[in-house]
Amino acid sequence: MSLVIPDEILQSARMSENEFMQEIVLMLFRQNKLSIGKASRLLGMHLIQFQHLLASRDICVHYDVADFREDLNTIKEMYGE
């Protein structure tokens, strides 16, 4: 799925496309709508980079057994196991 954000929205928010995407992903992560693995992948970051981003924003990492299982499934999908 592709999402098109009009340039006027980005200009009025004074954000680049990457900054806007980052804010959306962080919001979804905070709301527990995305696992840490999916959130970091959406931003094209390694997990450690994403954890540093979370720490810089004082966002707590919520990672439970369900997140772990979801990340394992994601890894299996990526590597065809």
Residue 81: per-residue pLDDT: 64
The confidence score (pLDDT) of residue 2 equals 82
Distance CA 37, CA 75 (A): 9
Q: Which two structure tokens, joined as six digits, stand for 69?
A: 């299982």
User: Which amino acid belongs to residue 32?
Assistant: N
Q: What is the pLDDT of residue 50?
A: 94
| Amino acid type, 69 | R
> For 6-53, how does the pLDDT look when each residue is reduced to its tens digit (9 = 90+)?
999 999 999 999 999 999 999 999 998 998 889 999 999 998 999 999
Residue 58 pLDDT > 70? yes
- Asked if pLDDT for residue 72 goes beyond 90, the answer is no
